[in-house]
Amino acid sequence: VRDVEIDPEGTFKYILVRLQRPGGEEQRDIVRGTKAAEFHNHIFEKVNPEMEKLGYECKCLGGGKIDHNSKDKKIRVFGLSTGYGKADHSVTVEILKKVYTDYEITWSDDKK
């Protein structure tokens, strides 16, 4: 399971999802975001069955928005999900840094 699956460009909704094997202690968090999702729960409704097939239980830890500028190699994480609440953007940024190693990645509690 990849740590991050986000659109290559633009501003879009994202969610932070915790994966866990049923009865297992090991947990890991993944980031998913796409312009195709009108609401945060649309992302979760896609991710959850995919992860269940692989034997994981999913829990949405919250959401927000990502502004991805691939030309300038910048990612900004901000905002919140009305349905799931605000994700811990500092956790999201740490996960993004593992994948986008040469990017400037920042976060804020700004709504826009």
Known active-site residue 89: no
Tens digit of pLDDT at every position of the chain (112 positions): 999 999 999 999 999 999 999 999 999 999 999 999 999 999 999 999 999 999 999 999 999 999 999 999 999 999 999 999 999 999 999 999 999 999 999 999 998 8
Residue pair 3/33 in contact by the 8 Å Cβ criterion: no
Distance CA 18, CA 29 (A): 4
Q: What is the pLDDT of residue 18?
A: 98
User: Does 73 show up as a binding residue in the annotation?
Assistant: no
pTM above 0.85, yes or no: yes
CATH architecture for segment(s) 4-108 = 3-Layer(bba) Sandwich (3.50)
Distance CA 91, CA 20 (A): 17
